[in-house]
């Protein structure tokens, strides 16, 4: 089995797609007016408009309602990314090193989902990611 993508449901899909294009530096592929994908190394971020929820089952998803998922992106230079984005995003916290060895900062996307950029900081973290 392969994890194919992570999908976000957006009340304002154009705003969400533009936000993720800006933070990731990648262009989205618009597969329909209500659906876009940003294909990045390792994963695809799919963004669907609220109208797409009813294609599965009405009421089965709600834009801006999730507070349990964190989208995490590994970056080469965490300090440079922080400097690039700190004034463009809604920061949750500044750069810090987590107990498991990743240096990270966190912010919110336009719908309120948590997004973390991180880089392995400790030798143990660097070793863990070297094998992936």
Mean pLDDT of all residues in 39-68: 90
Distances (CA, A) of 102 to 6, 25, 43, 51, 64: 22, 22, 20, 37, 27
Assess contact for 105 and 96: CB atoms under 8 A: yes
Any long-range contacts for 39-42 (C-beta under 8 Å, 24+ apart)? 40/73
Mean pLDDT of 15-21: 98
Say if 98 falls within a structural domain. Answer: yes
Say if residue 126 is in the same domain as residue 75.
yes
Pick the range with the lowest mean pLDDT from 13-17, 39-43, 94-98, 118-122: 39-43
Give a yes or no: residue 119 inside a domain.
Answer: yes
Q: What is the mean pLDDT of the chain?
A: 94
Whether 78 and 34 map to the same domain: the answer is no
Q: Which domain holds residue 116?
A: 69-132
Which residues fall within 8 angstroms of residue 108, CB to CB, at 6 or more apart?
A: 89, 90, 92, 114, 115
Looking up residue 18, the CATH number of its domain turns out to be 3.10.180.10
Residue 36 pLDDT > 80: yes
In a domain, 86, yes or no: yes
Give residue-wise pLDDT tens across range 50-60: 999 998 899 88
């Amino acid at each position: 089995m392969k994890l194919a993508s992570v999908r976000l449901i957006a009340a304002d899909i154009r705003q969400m797609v533009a936000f993720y294009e800006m933070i990731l530096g990648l262009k989205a592929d618009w597969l329909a007016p209500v659906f876009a994908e940003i294909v990045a190394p390792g994963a695809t971020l799919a963004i669907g408009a609220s109208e797409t929820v009813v294609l599965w089952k009405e009421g089965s998803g709600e834009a801006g309602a999730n507070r349990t998922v964190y989208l995490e992106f590994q970056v080469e230079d965490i300090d440079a990314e922080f400097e690039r984005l700190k004034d463009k995003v809604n920061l949750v916290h500044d750069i810090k090193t987590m107990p498991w060895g990743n240096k990270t900062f966190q912010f919110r996307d336009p719908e309120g989902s948590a997004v973390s950029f991180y880089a392995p900081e400790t030798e143990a973290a660097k070793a863990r990611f070297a094998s992936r």
